Structures are given as C-alpha cells and as structure tokens.
Structure 1
Amino acid sequence: MRPDDKQQTQQEMAKVEQIIGVILQIGVIVSAIIICCGLLLLLVTGKSGYSSNHFPTHFGLIFQGIAQLKPFAIIMLGLFGLILTPVLRVVVSIYAFIKEHDQLYVLITTAVLLILILGMVLGYLNIWP
C-alpha cells in the first residue's frame, strides 16, 4: 500500500468512527425523547392505553398504539429505537472493516450482526424463552 493510500484510508476510518459516534448519540437522544414523550403522556392521562399487565410487543401493535396515542406503545417505540442503535453501529462497523480490507473482522462483525438479527427474530416469534 502506498503512503498516499494509507493516509487516505486513515482519513476515511476517522470519518467512519466519527459517523459511528454521531449515530450512537442521535439514536440514544431520539430514543430518550420518544420514551420521555410516552412517559409524559402516561403521567398526563394516568392510563397506559392497555389493560393491566399488557403492553404491545409486536410492530403492528406498537404502530397501531402510536396512532391511538397509547403511552405504552410510544415507550415501546423508544425502547425499540434504543435497541436498534447498537445494531446500526455494527452495520457501520462492517462497512469500516471492509474499507480497511480486514477480512477477519468483517467475518466476526458479520457473525455478530447475524446473531443479533437471529436473537431479535426468535424473540419476536416467541421461539426463545
């Protein structure tokens, strides 16, 4: 690798690392705002929008509850965003490792992403306890 190529790659990696940091910050802030809106609505109305000990766990129910301004649905949307934030970080990391031509870390990070997706799918389908 020529010195110019190495310097360009280092600059690109610095930009990717900065993007990863911004993604994490924005994800956490937006999720926190959504959760706070749901909590505020819960405090104002005094009702969760659901019968006792029930809350939406599937996307359809969450979006339906948001359309009806149900506090628990809004809180669940914020939690879902909070969960997806590090998943997005893993996706951006895969891109960074591809740019660095680091095949081992591309494979490891891809395996981590697949495990995360598998865990979410199994949880969504109630297959895993």
Structure 2
Amino acid sequence: MTKHQNETSTTTEMNHIEAIIGHILQIGVSIAAIIMALGLLLLIIKGGQTGYAKNVHPTTISGILRGIAQLKPYAVMMLGLFCLILTPILRVVVSIYAFAKEHDRLYVVITTLVLVILGISFVIGHTV
C-alpha cells in the first residue's frame, strides 16, 4: 500500500468515525429529550404529583431506577438528565478510540485525561 493510499484510507476512516460521533450526539440528545418528555407527561397525568416529598429528588442510579419502577415523574426526568450527561462522555470515549486508530498518542493521553477528570468530577459531585 502506498503512502497516499494509506492517508486516504485513514482520512476515510476518520470521516466515518466523525460521522459516528455526530450520530451518537444526535441519538443521545434525542433519547434524553424523549425520556424527559415522558417524565413531564407523567407529571401532568399525575396532576403535578412528583412522587417525592417537597425538595426531595432521586440522586443515585438505584434511587432513579426504584422511582422509575414506581412511575415517579421526577425519577423519569432524572433518567433523561442522566442520559443527557452521558452523551458527551460517550463522545469522549469514541474520541479516544479515534485518536488511537490514528496512532496519535498525545491526543489519546489528553482525551483519556479528560475522561478521568470527568470521572473524578462525578465521584466528587456524588459525595458532596
């Protein structure tokens, strides 16, 4: 394979990965919006009853899942927010893969560092 063919193949593959990243963002935001709309619809159906005491909201994954099983509107909406937050994180993971395919070690390291920082921020945010 010539250098030009290799560069063309890499460019084609990167364009494909960029398209995948775009689809991930579109699908993630769409799913989050649909879930939040379902939660809002459930809130309207239940006459504004959230299913929780005043100023109480599910903040853990297990709490959200329990609330969804009980059809609590706020739990459904929190799942939508959770999906919305996960969408860009998935984009970072796919970017790490894309940089690895390009053999761009510097950007693999930088993007992995971004992913680690995101993980740490979630841990800190959950414990505070």
Instruction: Give the TM-score band, short-chain normalised.
Output: over 0.9
TM-score (norm: length of structure 1)? 0.95
SS in 1 for 2:22: helix
Cα deviation, residue 125, structure 1: 2.6
Query: Under a length normalisation based on structure 2, what TM-score does the superposition of the two structures give?
Result: 0.95
Measure the CA separation in 2 of the matches of 1:125 and 1:98: 33
Aligned runs of 1:1-129 on 2, under 5 Å? Answer: 2-45=3-46, 46-126=48-128
CA offset digits 1:14-61 (Å, max 9, x no partner) = 000000000000000000000010011111112000010101000111
Mind listing any 5+ residue stretches in structure 2 that lack a counterpart? none
Shift >6 Å, 4+ stretches: none
DSSP-derived class of the 1:114 partner: helix
Query: What does the per-residue CA deviation read over 1:78-103, in whole Å, with 9 as the maximum and x for residues that have no partner?
Result: 00000000000000000111111111
Q: Could you tell me how far 1:4 is from its partner in structure 2?
A: 1.1
Q: For 1:49, what is the secondary structure of its paired residue?
A: coil
CA distance in 1: counterparts of 2:82 and 2:105, whole angstroms = 31
| Whole-angstrom CA distance in 2 between matches of 1:24 and 1:36 | 18
CA distance in 2, matches of 1:13, 1:35: 33
Residue 117 of structure 1 aligns to a residue whose secondary structure is helix
Q: Distance in 2 between matches of 1:14 and 1:121?
A: 34
SS at the partner of 2:87?
Answer: helix
CA RMSD between the two structures:
0.9
